[in-house]
Amino acid sequence: AQTVTQSQPEMSVQEAETVTLSCTYDTSENNYYLFWYKQPPSRQMILVIRQEAYKQQNATENRFSVNFQKAAKSFSLKISDSQLGDTAMYFCAFMSLTGANSKLTFGKGITLSVRP
Amino acid sequence: KAGVTQTPRYLIKTRGQQVTLSCSPISGHRSVSWYQQTPGQGLQFLFEYFSETQRNKGNFPGRFSGRQFSNSRSEMNVSTLELGDSALYLCASSLDGFYGYTFGSGTRLTVV
């Protein structure tokens, strides 16, 4: 079974600064996807970024980028130029591509606060 | 295009009752998954439906069931409610179940 670990329960960052959220995972599989989701107080989970394990290049989406270290099973999210609207819970998630196993396994999440 | 719609947004039920939650996926999405979110357990996978068939199931008791209709809309049912079933229930849809899921805003269920 896969596990996803987010060891930092809370982080705080000043507006316009850069922050990195950590995530590690454990799997014996070789083909999988990794995701970061954001959950603001509105409760809706919003996909921030996705990484395919077979791609060596780190994914980027505007101010969001990841540092994917497959051997170390590490998948951190970097948020540049933090904005007040980035305040939310962030979840790291794993999805196996083996068979029909299309479920997401989530970490416990990290609460990010952006200070004005 | 419209997102994933979950109804109702809030629900209060009494122990022992049953409840049905509804999810309308994004048009064209054939995969619908359900997750339970609680402060203690975090986000846990309940089940996934693809083209009206249950394709995956999480480790929940048989009191939790679901179904998917031909228009891809899905319902989740919980029978004989327990206090521990109080949670945010999230529905997510995807084209094929792998590319990435779009989530709804959830149904907050409170069991008293």
Q: Which pLDDT score is estimated for A16?
A: 97
Confidence band (pLDDT; 50, 70, 90) for B1? Answer: low
Contacts across the A-B interface (CB distance below 8 Å): 57
Shortest Cα–Cα distance, B103 to chain A (Å)? 6
Cα dihedral value B75, B76, B81, B87, nearest 10: -110
Interface contact B56-A103, CB threshold 8 A: yes
Closest CA to A103 of A35, A38, A51: A35
Q: Mutation test of the interface with chain B: which of A29, A44, A91, choosing the one with the most B Cβ atoms within 10 A?
A: A44
**A103: closest chain B residue by CA:** B45
**B95: closest chain A residue by CA:** A102
Tens digit of each residue's pLDDT (9 = 90 or more) over B32-50: 999 999 999 999 999 999 9
Q: Which pLDDT score is estimated for A24?
A: 98
Closest CA to B85 of B57, B44, B25, B56: B44
Q: Is the pLDDT of residue A22 over 80?
A: yes
Q: Which pLDDT score is estimated for A56?
A: 86
Interface contact B56-A33, CB threshold 8 A: no
Q: Which pLDDT score is estimated for A64?
A: 97
B48 contacts A95 by C-beta, under 8 angstroms: no
Phi then psi for residue A62, to 5 deg, are: 55, -115
Tens digit of each residue's pLDDT (9 = 90 or more) over B73-112: 999 999 999 999 999 999 999 987 777 799 999 999 999 9
Residues forming beta bridges with residue B37, ordered by sequence position: B43, B88
DSSP state of A99: T
Tens digit of each residue's pLDDT (9 = 90 or more) over A28-48: 988 899 999 999 988 889 999
Interface contact B92-A37, CB threshold 8 A: no
CA distance A68 to A59: 8
Q: Is the pLDDT of residue A2 over 90?
A: no
End-to-end CA, chain A? 41
Q: Is the pLDDT of residue A49 over 70?
A: yes
Q: Is the pLDDT of residue A100 over 70?
A: no
Residue A74 CB neighbour total at 10 angstroms: 15
